[in-house]
Amino acid sequence: MTDLATYNFAYLDEQTKRMIRRAILKAISIPGYQVPFASREMPMPYGWGTGGVQVTAAILGPKDVLKVIDQGADDTTNAVSIRAFFQKVANVAVTTKTRDATIIQTRHRIPEETLTAGQTLVYQVPIPEPLRFLEPRETETRKMHALEEYGLMHVKLYEDIARNGHIATTYAYPVKVEGRYVMDPSPTPKFDNPKMHMSEALQLFGAGREKRIYAVPPHTDVVSLDFEDHPFEIQHFDKPCALCGAEHVYLDEVVLDDKGGRMFVCSDTDHCEDRREHGHAGHLLAQQEAAE
Amino acid sequence: MSAVPLLKVNDVSKFYGSRIGCRNVSFELWPGEVLAIVGESGSGKTTLLSCLSTRLMPSSGIVEYHMRDGQYRDLARMSEAERRFLMRTDWGFVHQNPADGLRMTVSAGANVGERLMAVGDRHYGNIRATAADWLRRVEIEEDRIDDQPRSFSGGMRQRLQIARNLVTSPRLVFMDEPTGGLDVSVQARLLDLVRGLVHDLGLSAIIVTHDLAVARLLSHRMMVMKDGLVIEQGLTDRVLDDPREPYTQLLVSSILQV
Contact A57/A29 with Cβ under 8 angstroms? Answer: no
User: Taking an 8 Å Cβ-Cβ cutoff, which residues of chain A contact chain B?
Assistant: 134, 143, 147, 149, 151-152, 154-156, 158-159, 161-163, 226-230
Is-contact A24 A204, C-beta < 8 A?
Answer: yes
Q: Could A158 and B109 be called an inter-chain contact, meaning their C-beta atoms sit closer than 8 Å?
A: yes
Q: Is residue A162 within 8 Å of A227, Cβ to Cβ?
A: no
Whether the predicted pLDDT of A255 surpasses 60: yes
pTM for the model? 0.86
**pLDDT at B134 exceeding the cut of 50:** yes
> A128 and A145 in contact (C-beta within 8 Å)?
no
- Please determine, for residue B65, whether its predicted confidence score (pLDDT) is greater than 50: yes
Q: Which residues of A are catalytic?
A: 32, 241, 244, 266, 272
C-alpha span between A223 and A66 (Å, rounded): 28
Asked if pLDDT for residue B7 goes beyond 50, the answer is yes
How high is the pLDDT of residue A7? 61
Share of chain B above pLDDT 90, in %: 70
Q: List, in sequence order, every beta strand (DSSP E) within A26-173.
A: 35-36, 65-70, 93-94, 103-107, 120-124
Name the residue among A263, A262, A266, A284 with its Cα closest to residue A274: A266
Chain A residues whose beta carbon lies within 8 Å of the beta carbon of residue B80: 143, 147
Mean pLDDT of A134-138: 89
Of B103, B106, B122, the CB nearest to A227: B122
Question: What is the band of B9 on the pLDDT scale with cuts at 50, 70, 90?
Answer: very high
**A158·B115 Cβ contact <8 A:** no
Chain B, 105-124: which have a CB under 8 Å from a chain A CB?
A: 106-107, 109-110, 113-115, 117-119, 122-124
Banded model confidence at residue A186, pLDDT cuts 50, 70, 90: confident
pLDDT tens digits, residue range B136-171?
999 899 999 999 999 999 889 999 999 999 999 999
Between A3 and A177, the higher pLDDT residue:
A177
Q: Tell whether the model's pLDDT for residue B90 goes beyond 60.
A: yes
Span B199-224, mean pLDDT?
Answer: 91
* pLDDT tens sequence across A145-168: 999 999 899 999 999 999 999 998
- pLDDT at position B210 over 80: yes
Q: Is A1's pLDDT higher than 50?
A: no
- Distance to chain B for A183, nearest Cα, Å: 17
- Identify the three-state secondary structure at position B19: strand
Q: State the complex-level ipTM.
A: 0.84
Rounded CA separation B202/B108 (Å): 25
As a whole number of angstroms, the distance between CA B61 and CA B230 comes to 15
